[in-house]
Amino acid sequence: MSDRVFFSLAALLAVLLIALAAVAPQGLGARSFWLFGRPLVQPTPSAAPSEADAVAARAAAALAGLRTSR
């Protein structure tokens, strides 16, 4: 395959992929059209304490243990 054909096809493919990215903006709050879209899922708050809360509790317990060890 000659370079002229290969690079022409590569440029055409690049333009097509850029056009596809422009018409399928999933992730900006808008649902993409039927072929490329997926259902948008809204995060829900959980009732369980988060990992950050657990880390903070362990740190507070460690500090309390250091204060009472004297």
Distance in angstroms (rounded) separating the CA atoms of residues 58 and 68: 15
What pLDDT score does 2 carry? 93
Q: Where does residue 14 fall: left (phi above 0), alpha (psi -120 to 50 degrees), or beta otherwise?
A: alpha
Q: Is residue 69, in this structure, part of any structural domain at all? A: no
| Residue with more model confidence, 56 or 26 | 56
Total structural domains in the chain?
1
| 3-class secondary-structure state, position 50 | coil
What pLDDT, in 10s, does the model give residues 11-42? 999 999 998 887 776 655 666 666 666 666 66
Contacting residues for 38 by C-beta, under 8 A, at least 6 apart: 26, 32
Range of the domain at 2: 1-38
Mean pLDDT of 46-58: 74
Q: Is residue 62, in this structure, part of any structural domain at all? A: no
